[in-house]
Chain A
């Protein structure tokens, strides 16, 4: 099989991260760029997200998902960038060998000069939360239910219980209600909401759908189709409270129990994964540990807002384009690397490393996932040897909402002024 070495940058995945990565990879150097998308259209998950809430940051508008995707797709299609749809990357090596499969193009082998990983994420399933009960029809992840309703045009059930208060779960509770189903309730294991507050108000409250916190599904009934579920309360240690079981008759259980970055290809290529984000460890270029492999979007960590996914894609794409064009492979030479570690009340952070002397005009977005619920004004601090280097305030810290800080020139100056190689992010 011949190997195609014509491309400077290949972007794996044509969702929001991949599209903006491809645009910026081209803009960086006007090189040859290819986007490989396994679906038959671009946009990733956005075409099925027909609700609004996209684009506030990047367009200053409140757009539905397909509209947001369309704007980026239009911009991409104006450029001489190649796009292969309905094509799946089945292998990626540390030497940047890419093998793809497609009905139309057949089995292909590429070796570009740089790769951007933009494979997004997948939903956690029933098995990952070890949900007891039968294996009947009528158990869907929220994303699958969303695809069935919004793209295929079919109703997965009539009487529905949603497990998990993630955003897609709440949005689907509303969507299924609008389409004539009865959503009997949203169960949340944790004592607080795991999705955005605005979705609670607009999707549950406005439609009289009850939310049950500290409650989970204990058992699924029905051998062939779901016939009901048993719920149970949990205590502060998330242990079941015996005696609080309740049977709810329903035909469908929708699961919104979290998302996991999809990194099977990254692992094949030897990309190092952060156990906190479940995504590649990236630096301020969105570069991974494997030379020439960059990553952006939900493949690196789960984002709440697509606008920031697009921005991360831009950084990764631009860096990949620049990398592909440069003869000098280690372009960080001479720059100090500052590692950034999560500290108090911070679950994870990206990027995990900043090349402070090599930022050029590139933006750096520090994206932090709080791991505690603090409903008050909080201070976010970056400390070197327990001494604050920079800090800023936020209205609150919620696990459901990433705290994102675009570093300002004075922030960067402060970081440059230190001599540290490690910063710890704390929320207090």
Chain B
């Protein structure tokens, strides 16, 4: 197979890889991103709580704390340029009972040490006024006004599309299977799509970042355990909360939260189940029970009625403890081989931290003597596919006049038009699977969960990509929808 050469190769197109790609696209560098899946953002970046955490939760002095607080700030600056839906909703860490109430003060202090702005402890009355659905048993809350909610996939897509527009190549279905190390220098990686050599490699491989480390003999003791978290998504009409509502944190993490997404659906979860299997995205009966019970403690009216989707995400939970007791992100220029920057064990608050991690990668490379010369024509902006559902009457009348494809509604519940699907297929990082279209347009995510749009979406994909219906997949190789034509001879 062919060998391609770049200045920088990024392994993994999740939020970290995509943000790093965008950061490096500012400079005169040739950059490629290798992604093992059929689309970007298929891992933990997009199956999580979709929250831009404030940074009150990590322990002071850790990379987690630094990156989270800086990342939070950067998100609100970057998102408008990239047309990423983001809302600075604020979050409440809710205490129930005297014991939890007294726990709010150490949390406040920790947040202040981390440099989080605007922290405040609210009384029961203040909290209930802000969030009438909260349990009457609430005694108070820590308010973290810088927290917010973000469209998790649009975040990855916005950064990646902007990077692509600025010259970064995204190579999908390219799984890294081996590393070529010569004289202590990482020269190339071997993938399912050939060999990629580069002066620098960025390990942003999420739940698989430990495997990349081990390929080059770096941090053999470092290991990622996949901790599964399950979620329920409710129909828009069920109920909403204004802030992200957290219970008091425990050893297991930030707990089962209640949040209303940028799409207007309320979501509850996650639990925390160490599965070990890095590809196990299944939802379990016991997990679903656990998150319902957990969410009810905060919002008693939560019930299975109105649930329109369930999903599970995996957290890349690493065991990196630089000071021996506090778990942290593993962010460093590799000491084992030259030419590698590790961004490993990026679990929560990784999404919130991603823009700061990207910024820091720039500093690390500069520190290594890489010449970062700014491009004269770098474009900071990215435009989203128009969204018919969010348009007013005049805008709708206008867009269908300009392009009749926007007049054909393919997904009834979410009102996604054929025009939006065509835009997704012909975008800077083309959508080539059903799920890739679903994530770009939000088609099939409503009440009918795709029952009506499947056949039509498959037809459009087949037509536009010049493929047969039996080649159309849900999420890449091995996930076809249709086996054969009815009148085809069965061999």
State the A residues within 8 Å of B (CB): 1, 38, 86, 88, 90, 99, 101-107, 109, 122-123, 125-128, 130, 132-138, 140-141, 143-144, 147-149, 151-158, 179-180, 218-221, 223-225, 240, 251, 264, 267
Collect the chain B residues with CB atoms within 8 Å of residue A109's CB: 393
- Whether a CB of chain A sits under 8 angstroms from the CB of B400 is yes
Would B281 and A154 count as touching, CB distance under 8 A? no
What's the minimum C-beta distance from B479 to chain A, rounded to whole angstroms?
4
Q: In the complex the two chains form, what is the Cα distance from A356 to B126 in whole Å? A: 54
For window 265-313 of chain B, which residues contact chain A by CB distance below 8 Å? 279-285, 287-288, 304, 307-311
Would B451 and A123 count as touching, CB distance under 8 A? yes
Would B475 and A147 count as touching, CB distance under 8 A? no
Would A104 and B486 count as touching, CB distance under 8 A? no
Mind listing 26 A-B residue pairs with CB under 8 Å? A1-B393, A1-B394, A90-B409, A101-B388, A104-B407, A106-B400, A107-B393, A126-B449, A127-B307, A132-B283, A135-B281, A136-B474, A137-B434, A137-B474, A137-B481, A140-B454, A144-B451, A148-B454, A153-B487, A154-B470, A154-B484, A155-B485, A155-B486, A158-B483, A224-B475, A224-B479
Collect the chain A residues with CB atoms within 8 Å of residue B469's CB: 152, 154
Would B281 and A134 count as touching, CB distance under 8 A? yes
Would B407 and A240 count as touching, CB distance under 8 A? no
What residue in chain B is nearest A251 (Cβ atoms)? B483
- Whether a CB of chain A sits under 8 angstroms from the CB of B324 is no
What's the minimum C-beta distance from B137 to chain A, rounded to whole angstroms?
27
Starting from the known contacts A123-B451, A141-B451, 10 additional A-B residue pairs (CB-CB under 8 Å) come to A1-B394, A90-B415, A104-B407, A130-B288, A135-B281, A135-B311, A144-B452, A154-B470, A155-B486, A180-B490
Q: In the complex the two chains form, what is the Cα distance from A179 to B484 in whole Å? A: 11
What residue in chain B is nearest A1 (Cβ atoms)? B397
- Whether a CB of chain A sits under 8 angstroms from the CB of B396 is yes
Would B285 and A132 count as touching, CB distance under 8 A? yes
Q: In the complex the two chains form, what is the Cα distance from A90 to B279 in whole Å? A: 39
Would B449 and A125 count as touching, CB distance under 8 A? yes
Q: In the complex the two chains form, what is the Cα distance from A140 to B482 in whole Å? A: 11
Collect the chain A residues with CB atoms within 8 Å of residue B311's CB: 135
Q: With A106-B400, A123-B451, A224-B475 in contact, is A240–B481 under 8 Å at CB? A: no
Determine which of A132, A137, A151 lies in contact with B455 in the assembled complex, contact meaning CB atoms within 8 Å.
Answer: A151
Q: In the complex the two chains form, what is the Cα distance from A128 to B393 in whole Å? A: 32
Collect the chain A residues with CB atoms within 8 Å of residue B459's CB: 152
What's the minimum C-beta distance from B154 to chain A, rounded to whole angstroms?
20
Would A38 and B412 count as touching, CB distance under 8 A? yes
Collect the chain A residues with CB atoms within 8 Å of residue B470's CB: 154
Collect the chain B residues with CB atoms within 8 Å of residue A144's CB: 450-452, 454-455
Q: With A154-B486, A155-B484, A158-B483 in contact, is A106–B474 under 8 Å at CB? A: no
Would A122 and B485 count as touching, CB distance under 8 A? no
Q: In the complex the two chains form, what is the Cα distance from A221 to B281 in whole Å? A: 10
Q: In the complex the two chains form, what is the Cα distance from A107 to B417 in whole Å? A: 13
- Whether a CB of chain A sits under 8 angstroms from the CB of B473 is yes
- Whether a CB of chain A sits under 8 angstroms from the CB of B404 is yes
Q: In the complex the two chains form, what is the Cα distance from A264 to B288 in whole Å? A: 27
Chain A proximity mask over B436-458: 1 for CB below 8 Å, otherwise 0: 00000000000111111011000
Q: With A127-B308, A130-B310, A154-B485 in contact, is A107–B397 under 8 Å at CB? A: yes
What's the minimum C-beta distance from B150 to chain A, rounded to whole angstroms?
22
What residue in chain A is nearest B446 (Cβ atoms)? A264
What's the minimum C-beta distance from A231 to chain B, rounded to whole angstroms?
13
What residue in chain B is nearest A180 (Cβ atoms)? B490
Collect the chain B residues with CB atoms within 8 Å of residue A158's CB: 483
Collect the chain A residues with CB atoms within 8 Å of residue B284's CB: 132, 219
- Whether a CB of chain A sits under 8 angstroms from the CB of B96 is no
Q: In the complex the two chains form, what is the Cα distance from A225 to B434 in whole Å? A: 13
Q: With A130-B310, A133-B282, A154-B469 in contact, is A147–B455 under 8 Å at CB? A: yes
For window 311-338 of chain B, which residues contact chain A by CB distance below 8 Å? 311
- Whether a CB of chain A sits under 8 angstroms from the CB of B375 is no
Collect the chain A residues with CB atoms within 8 Å of residue B455's CB: 144, 147-148, 151-152
- Whether a CB of chain A sits under 8 angstroms from the CB of B215 is no
Determine which of B288, B400, B482, B484 lies in contact with A103 in the assembled complex, contact meaning CB atoms within 8 Å.
Answer: B400
What's the minimum C-beta distance from A38 to chain B, rounded to whole angstroms?
7
Collect the chain A residues with CB atoms within 8 Å of residue B479's CB: 136-137, 224-225
Looking at chain A's contact residues, the main secondary structure is: mixed
- Whether a CB of chain A sits under 8 angstroms from the CB of B405 is yes
For window 242-281 of chain B, which residues contact chain A by CB distance below 8 Å? 279-281
What's the minimum C-beta distance from A101 to chain B, rounded to whole angstroms?
5
Query: How many residues of B sit at the interface, in one of the four size bands?
Result: 35 or more
Collect the chain A residues with CB atoms within 8 Å of residue B310's CB: 127, 130, 132
Would A157 and B483 count as touching, CB distance under 8 A? yes
State the B residues within 8 Å of A (CB): 233, 237, 279-285, 287-288, 304, 307-311, 388, 393-394, 396-397, 400-401, 404-405, 407-409, 412-413, 415, 417-418, 434, 447-452, 454-455, 459, 469-470, 473-487, 490
Would A153 and B485 count as touching, CB distance under 8 A? yes
Collect the chain A residues with CB atoms within 8 Å of residue B482's CB: 148, 154-156
Q: In the complex the two chains form, what is the Cα distance from A153 to B470 in whole Å? A: 11
Would B393 and A101 count as touching, CB distance under 8 A? no
Would A101 and B407 count as touching, CB distance under 8 A? yes
What residue in chain A is nearest B277 (Cβ atoms)? A223
What's the minimum C-beta distance from A147 to chain B, rounded to whole angstroms?
6
Q: In the complex the two chains form, what is the Cα distance from A304 to B124 in whole Å? A: 52
Interface centre among A86, A137, A143, by most chain B C-beta atoms within 10 angstroms, is A137
Would B407 and A102 count as touching, CB distance under 8 A? yes
Q: In the complex the two chains form, what is the Cα distance from A284 to B404 in whole Å? A: 41
Q: In the complex the two chains form, what is the Cα distance from A130 to B409 in whole Å? A: 28
Collect the chain B residues with CB atoms within 8 Å of residue A180's CB: 490
Q: With A149-B486, A152-B469, A224-B478 in contact, is A127–B409 under 8 Å at CB? A: no
Q: With A38-B409, A122-B447, A122-B452 in contact, is A130–B307 under 8 Å at CB? A: yes
What's the minimum C-beta distance from A132 to chain B, rounded to whole angstroms?
5
Would A88 and B409 count as touching, CB distance under 8 A? yes
What residue in chain A is nearest B447 (Cβ atoms)? A122
What residue in chain A is nearest B475 (Cβ atoms)? A224
Determine which of B233, B279, B409 lies in contact with A101 in the assembled complex, contact meaning CB atoms within 8 Å.
Answer: B409
Would A86 and B485 count as touching, CB distance under 8 A? no
Q: In the complex the two chains form, what is the Cα distance from A203 to B162 in whole Å? A: 54
Q: In the complex the two chains form, what is the Cα distance from A133 to B310 in whole Å? A: 10
Would A137 and B308 count as touching, CB distance under 8 A? no
Collect the chain B residues with CB atoms within 8 Å of residue A264's CB: 413, 447
Would B407 and A132 count as touching, CB distance under 8 A? no
What's the minimum C-beta distance from B235 to chain A, rounded to whole angstroms?
10
Collect the chain B residues with CB atoms within 8 Å of residue A133's CB: 282-283
What's the minimum C-beta distance from A133 to chain B, rounded to whole angstroms?
5
Would A103 and B490 count as touching, CB distance under 8 A? no
Collect the chain B residues with CB atoms within 8 Å of residue A141's CB: 451
Q: In the complex the two chains form, what is the Cα distance from A141 to B450 in whole Å? A: 9
Would A125 and B283 count as touching, CB distance under 8 A? no
Collect the chain B residues with CB atoms within 8 Å of residue A224's CB: 474-479
What's the minimum C-beta distance from B111 to chain A, rounded to whole angstroms?
36
Q: In the complex the two chains form, what is the Cα distance from A106 to B284 in whole Å? A: 45
Would A102 and B475 count as touching, CB distance under 8 A? no
Would B473 and A137 count as touching, CB distance under 8 A? yes
Q: In the complex the two chains form, what is the Cα distance from A99 to B448 in whole Å? A: 22
Would A179 and B486 count as touching, CB distance under 8 A? yes
What residue in chain A is nearest B401 (Cβ atoms)? A106
Interface centre among B310, B409, B451, B470, by most chain A C-beta atoms within 10 angstroms, is B451
Would A125 and B448 count as touching, CB distance under 8 A? yes
Determine which of A122, A138, A179, A218 lies in contact with B285 in the assembled complex, contact meaning CB atoms within 8 Å.
Answer: A218
What's the minimum C-beta distance from A337 to chain B, rounded to whole angstroms?
29
What residue in chain A is nearest B233 (Cβ atoms)? A127
Collect the chain B residues with CB atoms within 8 Å of residue A143's CB: 451
Determine which of B281, B285, B304, B454 lies in contact with A223 in the assembled complex, contact meaning CB atoms within 8 Å.
Answer: B281
Q: Which 10 A-B pairs give the minimum distances between C-beta atoms? A: A137-B474, A103-B407, A224-B478, A224-B479, A103-B404, A107-B397, A125-B449, A154-B482, A137-B479, A88-B409
Interface centre among B279, B283, B405, B459, by most chain A C-beta atoms within 10 angstroms, is B283
What's the minimum C-beta distance from B449 to chain A, rounded to whole angstroms?
4
What residue in chain A is nearest B481 (Cβ atoms)? A137
